[in-house]
Chain A
Amino acid sequence: MPRMTIRTPPGRTLTPVAPRRTETDPLVLQPGTIAPGRARPAAPLRREGPAKLTGEAKYADDLVFPGAWYGATIRSTDAHARFDGIDLDPALDWSAIAVVTAADIPGENIVSLVSDDQPVLVPVGGEIQHQAEPLVLLAAADRETLRHARRGVTIRSTPLSPVFDPRLSDHVFAHFDIASGDLERGFAEADLVIEGEYRVGHQEQLYIENNAMIAVPREDGGVAVHGSLQCPYYIHKALKRALRLTDEQARVVQAETGGGFGGKEEYPSIIALHAALLARKTGKPVRMIYDRHEDLSATTKRHPAIVSHRTGVKADGTLVAQEIDVVMDGGAYCTLTPVVLSRGAIHAGGPYRCPNVRIRARATRTNTPPNGAFRGFGAPQVEFAAEVQIGRIADALGMSPLDIRRRNLYRVGDETPTGQVLRESVAAEEVLERAAEAAEFEGVRTRTERARARRAGSGSVPGSPLRTGADRTASGIGLALAWHGAGFTGSGEVKLASVASVELGADGRIRVLTASTEMGQGTKTIFPQLVAAELGVAVDDVDIAPQDTALVPDSGPTVASRTAMVVGGLLIKAARRLREVVEERNGGRPFADVHRADAAAHGPTRIDQQFEPYPHVHFDDETYRGDAYPAFGWAACVVSVSVDLDSGEVTVRDVVAADDVGRVIHPVLAEGQVEGGTLQAIGYATIEEIKLRDGRYLNDRLATYIIPTSLDAPRITTLLVEAPFSGAPHGAKGVGELPMDVGAPAVVAAIRDATGVWIHELPASPERILAALGVTAEPPGQAPAADTVRAALDEPIEAGTDPRPDAPTDPQPMRGPRDPGEPS
């Protein structure tokens, strides 16, 4: 253990590092320049907006298929058990009811994804791995018959011993070990070492439209499914394998989709399989429409995680060593867990330069419903931990949260723990300074700090040092910074080899063909925008083909904020080639002038554009070295809160979010992504929590799993920053996930500023805040929620002396790791 050897008090500089601003044509932005939100020429209105606003848009449950039956899923109620058999109530007339078990699956009994571990239905004699596991499917011509049938099924099972603590599970889905520099030497150089353990729980995507899928038998023995989904070709592949179908026999059509956020990335595959099996059995269309209760209790959630940090830092705030351990709870099946964990591991250090790093990450199996994709995909968990850790380091050194980030944030030329040199498109400083300036961070923080110091000695309520007779609430301001790798991790995009197409139809209209789905984020609006701009035609001249696997190529899943960057880039290249072909055929005259005549003369022209690796981007999946992402997006967030010192309730009042998205394609849509992602992050930070008992979610209804309402939502000011990525023809890096990474730690930092306590576990619920304040005991069964921080922050630390009267004599570790045997 190194000694604390801080000699000079770290001064607090209030002079910001002025961001570089260049005065140029606003349409030709230089890297690092600011694009004021609405400075662009008017962007087109949302393409499918009128249909959504008039009620014309058809979501899955709005689709009518005459003669359709209703399907239902009988699930386990055991977290872990052997499936011994099914009894059907002999008093019921089963001739009007379709019953499907694993024995009815014509192909492989697996839900195709990363690993082949999840069955479509557990076979009799097989092992039940979680309490919502599908065992039997039923269908009937009407809901009433189906209701009776559900009650007539009894599941026989023999309980087995479940595992709920991911640290105790010996079934490892994935593990990663990332190392750079010399960790030992780093800690030897450190003036201060700080440890911390941070925890986050499940979070539900809570799209307002529940999962829904309708399967329609085809005359060729195949099946067409229509549903709410993000990734048509994931489902296509799953249907082909489990139902033994050809490419043509399996058809997947996206209905209008009422939100996804990752929750409709992989789970729709199993629903489609269930509906398709019932359709095959009955010969009828079968509607498998989840209600909210089923959706909440059975579908995937954000992975819970336990993240431990040990950080070595110099007296001036420079990071010299980071040792990070990440454990994620994968739930009962692998789903996308290795990919989520991979992103989590790579982002675990936060957006900070550190020469000596060791990150160990593992994800294990527990007997809870599988966890999966949710906006941010492993990054929000680890970046919450990294940001609270850096905030606590700043406290320990008496530095401002802004200065410690200024000192360590990534700049062009820095190297990440995987050995990736950040050559361009690095806007950490830009977003930080913009957000801090717009929110007047340092000025407000000086005032809140003074208020806290003034009140600290005058507390009039026992056990609540800040509560005075006059002031029941305390205000605070908090800051966080994050990075988010743009697009797929590692060589994912190269392996996918996506195709996107642009077609000039015989009627002279232009058509975009991709499998990228619209779920509110704006795909159907920005794709025509990008293609129209490249071709020099009006946006309204460009149509978009339906997301139907019978019509569109596999342009990959609609995930990882890759749609604008990757698929948008393919479309621009396809449009460029189409323009060249048509202009060459027409004596070099502009495409816009000749395309209709060209179509009449030559018939349709279609260009298929396949993904080509970005130049100079290399990643080695075996060693985990290299360019983990082609580029990173950067986000900063400043949050103002007030905390009710009696009830522990947090009100998030104002948020300033600065997000670097590479290039803004559509300001209104991009702001919408930032605002929506920010509020999801605030929900994650304050109120969203899943309680479990024996592997079952206790709050599996919308009355008990709560998300922010309009009254809970703060005013959100969005600053869009543009540091373009040269590998994409339009410079865009994606926007969807970025704001999700940064909101929660900013809220927790603001709570710290208001109250003096750090909350180590999300959500920062009233119970955890009151316990941390010492007003109440720790909530039963919870991790110690927080540690208190010195009240007198302005005082420098000197070796061996700490101004806190109650300070531990050995300040490190500030908080020891928990007993690994203790259940969570």
Chain B
Amino acid sequence: MGEWRFAVNGEAVEVEAPGMRRLLDILREDLGLTGTKEGCGEGECGACTVLVDGAPVDSCLVPVCQVEGARIATVEGLATTSSEGPVLDRLQEAFLEMGGAQCGICTPGMLMAARSYLDSGGGPDEVAIREAIAGNLCRCTGYTKIVEAIAVAAGGPG
């Protein structure tokens, strides 16, 4: 067992866990942040994508000992809250409007990969967007509307 300190969605957390416990399990089971999903457990599907210091990672492949002191962002941190409930960010809004989410199970990971792309200055170019989400499998959409939604969020034409 070890004690690990890091930040999740801007809040400092401290967890006691074996160092090799998967970040995915820390998030879902220890911190109750079930927005991050498990699809394969071996880094193929990207459903568990979170950002560690801004970079997208498969949280099923990251042991908690590797995130000591890191800033972690999950899907729960994208929307802001208001008195009338959550306020979606531009990316989430674009997914909602364009039809980028169907069954929704790949959506949290997809959003985080896209968030990272946008935060690193990515634009509405289709090829670049497809490259940015190539590690995130979606079985519902054919990716067309996901790519469109990210392009819209990047300032492209709706």
Contact = CB atoms under 8 A, between A and B. Distances in A.
Nearest to A261: B139
A259 B103 contact: yes
A521 interface: yes
Interface of A: 45-46, 48-59, 61-62, 205-210, 256-261, 291-292, 519-522, 668-669, 671-672, 675-680, 701-703, 707, 709-711, 713, 715-716
A761 B108 CA distance: 37
A702 B40 CA distance: 7
B105 A672 contact: no
Nearest to B136: A710
B124 interface: no
Contacts of B102: 259, 520-522, 672, 676
B79 interface: yes
A608 to B, nearest CB: 29
Contact of B105 (A48, A208, A703, A709): A208
A58 B34 contact: yes
Contact of A709 (B74, B134, B140): B134
B121 interface: no
Interface of B: 28, 33-42, 44-45, 47, 74-76, 78-79, 86, 88, 92, 95-99, 101-108, 111, 126, 129-131, 133-147
A53 B92 contact: yes
Contacts, number: 171
A208 B101 contact: no
B35 A208 contact: no
Nearest to B107: A52
Nearest to A53: B92
Contact of A55 (B33, B98, B136): B33
B28 to A, nearest CB: 8
Given A675-B145, A710-B147, A45 B38 contact: no
Contact of B103 (A58, A519, A679): A519
B97 A45 contact: yes
B130 A711 contact: yes
A688 to B, nearest CB: 11
A54 B35 contact: yes
Contacts of A53: 75, 78-79, 88, 92, 95-96, 101, 104, 107, 111
13 contacts: A45-B97, A46-B101, A49-B96, A51-B104, A53-B78, A54-B86, A56-B86, A256-B104, A258-B37, A291-B40, A669-B99, A672-B145, A710-B143
Contacts of B131: 710-711
Nearest to A519: B103
Nearest to B145: A672
Given A57-B104, A261-B139, A46 B76 contact: no
A702 B140 CA distance: 17
A257 B103 CA distance: 7
B130 A710 contact: yes
Instruction: Give the residue among B33, B35, B103 with the most A Cβ atoms within 10 A.
Output: B103
Contacts of A679: 141-143
Contacts of A709: 134-135, 137
A671 B96 contact: no
Nearest to A681: B142
Contacts of B74: 55
A701 B42 contact: yes
Given A53-B101, A702-B44, A208 B142 contact: no
Contacts of B41: 291-292
Contacts of B86: 50, 54, 56
A259 to B, nearest CB: 4
Contact of A671 (B37, B42, B97, B99): B99
Given A53-B111, A209-B105, A710-B134, A678 B142 contact: yes
Nearest to A259: B103
A55 B142 contact: no
